[in-house]
Structure formats: structure tokens, C-alpha cells
Structure 1
Amino acid sequence: MTTMGAGMDGQAGRRRGALLTAMALTATLAVAGCGAGDSGARDSAASAPERAVAEGGVEGGAADKNSGTDAEGAAGAGAPDLRVDQRAIIYTGAMRVQVTDVDAAAREVTAVVTRAGGFIGGDVRRSADADAEAELQLRVPAAKFSGVVEEIAKLGRQQSRDINTRDVTEETVDLEARIISQRARVDSARRLLARATSIADLVSLENELGRREADLASLEAKKRRLADLTALSTITVSLAGPAAKTSDEKAETGFLVGLKGGWKAFVASMTVLLTVLGALLPWLVALGVPLVVLLLVLRRRRKTPALTAPVSGPPPVPAARSAP
């Protein structure tokens, strides 16, 4: 009995040992699994933002690249070019400068324009010492327009300045398109003329070709005119002497001013009268002297017969007869 009890106790101990071992192994595996799960979750949680940032950066870069491409395409396709150097602008200006010596200032203006690569388009001067005036029309490259204006303003005391600009970009583009279309019409008319088989068709096509070529020449002339105006700007410069009056000076009033004006009018009238008299005097001498001589001769001839005629006395009285 003792032996059987001892055997049963040994089997029970082994079963408990095996059970404990199994439980310890299960617990170890569970702990290991939980640690792995936690580390995996931590790794996933840590790498998710990095992947999001990386993916976002890649997608953002692609989106930026696509948007940049689209923007460039849109700009190249339909957006207008707003750069000033790519637009056709006509610059015109007018200025008045009071200088000490008009002729010297005019020579300096000519030198300024020549240095800028332009030329003098017109030169009108009125010399009268202190109140002398000169008007110069300058053609300068558009890129040198502002610089030339500033240099001329430094020659004396600037009295006025008027600068205007005109954007003809759309007009130039439209004109270019019309020229291309008109050239195509001219080429078409020439091809039809080359295939004409009858006299009527030949005459009709020649007339049509002439009209189309005339229209093309007119459009090309307009294009050259716009190109000239945009390439060379126009500046009208008025140079005035120290005593020259400006156009916007107010008129003086008063008795002395009126007297001065009346005296000037009287002197001007006498000058005109004397001028007319001087112009008529040669004619009066040439025609008046012979006429006076002729009148004197005729008058003397009328008096000569009256002086030479015999003097007639009273009629004779008949003698009285004596009585018988």
C-alpha cells in the first residue's frame, strides 16, 4: 500500500510539473508575443507619419510640377505677355526750355540726339536776340527716350513738359494677322490666274489680283509706319530766349498798356501806309509825269487860237444922205 501510494504521488508530481512547465512556456510565449506586437505597433506608428510625409512630398512635388507645367502651358497658349520690352509702345513728348543762348542750346540738343542714335526731323528758328526762339523735332530710339528728355531739360529752365504713350500691341498683332491672311489670298489669286483658260476669266482674275495686292501693300505700309513710330520716339523741343514770353502768360491791362498798344498799332499802320506809298511811287512817277505834260500841252493849244485871231470892230455906220 505504501508503495502504491508513493507511485501515485510521483505520477501526480510529474503531472503538476508538466502542467507548470506548460503554463510557464505559454506565459513566456504570450509575453514574447505581446512585446513583438507592441514593438510592431510602435514601429508602424512611428513609420506612418514618415511614409505620409514622404508620400505627400512626392505627390506634392508631382502636383507642383504638373501645376507649373499647366501654368506655363496656359501662359504660352492664351495669357498675354505683360512685359514692357515685348509690347509695342509709341512715345511722344513736347517740352519748352528757356535758355540763355538759343543757337548754342540748339547745337547741344543736336549733339544729344546724335549720341543717342537719333536725328533731327525738323528745325525752325526765329532769331531776335534776347527773345529768339527755336523749335526742334527730334527722333530718338524708344529705349533712349527718357534719357534724352532729362538731358535736354538740364540745358536751361524747363517751363513745360508733356509726355504721352500709346500702346499699339494689339493693333500690331491684328495687322500682322491680316497681312498673313492677305498674302494667302494673293497667292490663291495667283494660282487661279495661272490656271485661267478663257479671256474673261483671265481679265477678272487679274483685276481681283490687283485689288488684293493693293490691299496687301496698304497693310504692309501701315505695319512699317507703326514699326517706325515704335522704334523711334518723337520729341518736340521749344527753346526760348531770356526775353521770350510763354504762351500761358496773362495779358497786361491798364492805361499805359493801352497807350503802348495804341502807339504800336499807329506805328504799324504808318509803316504799312509808307510801304504801300513806296510801292506805288515808281508807278506814279512813270505814269503821272507824262500825263501832266500832256495836260499842259493840251491846255496851251486851247489858248493859242484865241490870242492870234483878228480883233473885229463894230460894224460901219452908213453915211447919211443929204436932202435935195
Structure 2
Amino acid sequence: MDGRTGRRRGALLAAGTLTAALALAGCSAGDSGSADSAGPAGPAGPAGPAAEAPAMDRAADKGSGAEAAGTAGAGAPDLRVDQRSIIYTGSMRVQVTDVDAAAREVSAVVTRAGGFIGGDLRRSAEADAVAELQLRVPAAKFSAVVEEVAKLGRQQSREINTQDVTEETVDLEARIITQRARVDSARRLLARANSIADLVSLENELGRREADLASLEAKKRRLADLTALSTITVALAGPAAKTSEEKTETGFLVGFKGGWKAFTTSMTILLTVVGALLPWVVALGVPLAVLLLALRRRRRSPAQAAEVSAPPPVPAARSAP
């Protein structure tokens, strides 16, 4: 019995020793892990709201990134052809019989499509009149408006351009979300400011962030306007209006006509200049000519008097042979 009792006591003692060793090892590991997570201790210093701004920004960036990732995971943006952000621009030239009537018809077409006239430039004449109209129409009605305008006369040229800004729009929206989070963090820090220095610094930082946010939102509104309303530049030309694509005629008669036109134009300009200078010549030249004539007569009078008063020359005596 004594031997069995001794063995039991030895086993219990060994088990207790092993348990104590494991407990000590666990406590030391927990202490080292907490120390690592806390990080090395730095020099003590004032940690105000202004010093917390970078940490708040990192938290805001992580939050906005997580929000964007969650949004993308929950429902990625639909990038089908009919859901993409595309800017449509076009220009066309149509020859019509009556420019003013065609311009009124174009205005009616744009109004029916839900758009408006953004610009109107006209050169009035009988046969070579030209009207340049800038149309802003909804993107969904772009093709229909182009076809209706082309039917008003004889289409001379057409150019259609597209620009896909889907990726730029998505990136801009993500930047706006991040910037809004940065503005909110700056406002929270400003509400906790407890010194004049922190207050001034945070107010300047908040103003800068709000300005950046306003700039991003303005870019977004500009892209939304360009994608929602397409731009069409329409040139309505009269029957005698010439286009830049017409071929230049050559030959003797063409050269003679061009030279005669240049000659008549030059003579017209010359006669215009002479007609403009003639009143000045009459007003200044006649008195000047009279003055010069009077001065010339005055110079001649003393000379003639001297010739009359001078004695006749005495002939020289002839010498004896």
C-alpha cells in the first residue's frame, strides 16, 4: 500500500508541475502579443484633434473603399451598351431653298425632341445665305433628329463622333464618395477642437477639402450634361452658297475673270482713297499754292527793280592800232 501511495503522489505532483508550466507559457505569450499589438511606445506629446486627422483620413479611406467594394459586390455597375455613358457630337451641312424657313423647321424639330437651340449665327442674303445652328437634344433622340434635319434639303456633309466616358464617370463617383468621407471626418475633428491653433488648422483643411469636393461634383455635372444632351452643329446653306469642298476651276477664262475682278477691285479701292483725300487736297492745297505764288512774286519784284536802276554798262575803249 505504501508503494502504491507513493506512485500516486508522484503522478499527481508531475501533473501539477506540467499544468503550472503550461499556464505560465500562455500568460507570457499573451503579454507579448498585447505588447506587439500596442506597438512601441513613443515620446509623449500632445495628441489633439489636428494630430488625429491622418488617422481619421485613413479610416475614412478604408471605409469608403469597403463601401465601394460592398457596392461592387452587391451589384456591379451595368456596363451594357445601352447603359454606358457616351457623349454624342455631330456636324452636318444641308443645302436648302429658303434658309430662314429651314431654320424655323429645325427649331421645331428640336423642340419636339425635348431639346433647345444653343447657338444661332446667320448671314442674311438672297441666294447665298447661311445659318449655323447649335442643337442640344437628348441622347436618345440624337439619330432621329439628325435624320429629320437631313430631310429638309440636300445633305452635303455629315460627321458623327462618339466618346465613351463610362470609366471616367465611375472613377469620378468613387472619388466623390472618398472626398465626402474626408470632409465629414474634418468636420468631426473641427467640432472637437479645443485650441485656437487646432481650430485654424482644421478650418483651413476643411475649406480645402470642400473645394476639392465641389470641383469633383462640378466635373460630374458637366459629364452628366454632355451625356444627357448631345450637340449637333447644323449649317443651312442657300442655293448659291459655296462649300469649301468645291473644286477650284482653272483655265484662261477663269484666270482672266479673276484678274479682271482683282483689277476692278483695286481701281475701286484706289478711287475710294482718292475721293477720301480730295477734300483735304482742296482745303489745304489751294491756300498753300496761293501762298507759294505770292512769295515767288515778292522775290521777283526786288530783282526787277535792281535791274531797272542799274546804269548801262560802259563799253571798253578801243586801243589804237
Tell me which interval the TM-score lies in, with the shorter structure as reference length: 0.5 to 0.7
Give the greater-gyration-radius structure (CA). Answer: 1
TM-score (norm 2): 0.67
Change over 3 Å in CA distance of 1:316–1:250 after alignment to 2: closer
Query: Structure 1: any 5+ residue segments left out of the alignment?
Result: 1-72, 318-324
Distance 2:229 2:217 in 1: 18
Number of aligned residues? 245
Distance 2:204 2:194 in 1: 16
| 1:203-250 Cα distance to aligned partner (Å, 9 max, x none) | 433333333222222212211111111111100111111222222222
- Residue 184 of structure 1 aligns to a residue whose secondary structure is helix
Identical pairs, percent: 88
Distance 2:217 2:72 in 1: 29
- Aligned partner of 2:263 among 237, 262, 266: 266
Distance 2:148 2:292 in 1: 75
- Counterpart of 1:254 in structure 2 is 251
Superposition misfits of 4+ residues, deviation over 6 angstroms: 73-76
Asked if 1:295 is matched to 2:296, the reply is no
More helix by share: 1
Distance 1:198 1:310 in 2: 112
TM-score (norm 1): 0.66
| 1:24-79 Cα distance to aligned partner (Å, 9 max, x none) | xxxxxxxxxxxxxxxxxxxxxxxxxxxxxxxxxxxxxxxxxxxxxxxxx9996465
- Counterpart of 1:34 in structure 2 is none
- Aligned partner of 2:165 among 168, 178, 185: 168
- Counterpart of 1:236 in structure 2 is 233
| 1:158-215 Cα distance to aligned partner (Å, 9 max, x none) | 1111112222121111111112222222233333344444444444333333332222
Query: Residues 279-318 of structure 1 correspond to what in structure 2 (within 5 A)?
Result: 279-306=276-303, 311-314=308-311
Distance 1:291 1:204 in 2: 80
Distance 2:76 2:213 in 1: 29
Asked if 1:89 is matched to 2:75, the reply is no
Distance 1:164 1:204 in 2: 48
1:93: how far off?
0.9
Query: Residues 50-61 of structure 1 correspond to what in structure 2 (within 5 A)?
Result: none
- Residue 186 of structure 1 aligns to a residue whose secondary structure is helix
| 1:225-277 Cα distance to aligned partner (Å, 9 max, x none) | 11111111100111111222222222111111111111122222223323333
CA RMSD between the two structures: 2.9
Distance 1:200 1:284 in 2: 80
- Counterpart of 1:44 in structure 2 is none
Query: Structure 2: any 5+ residue segments left out of the alignment?
Result: 1-69, 315-321
Q: Which moved more, 1:187-196 or 1:173-182?
A: 187-196
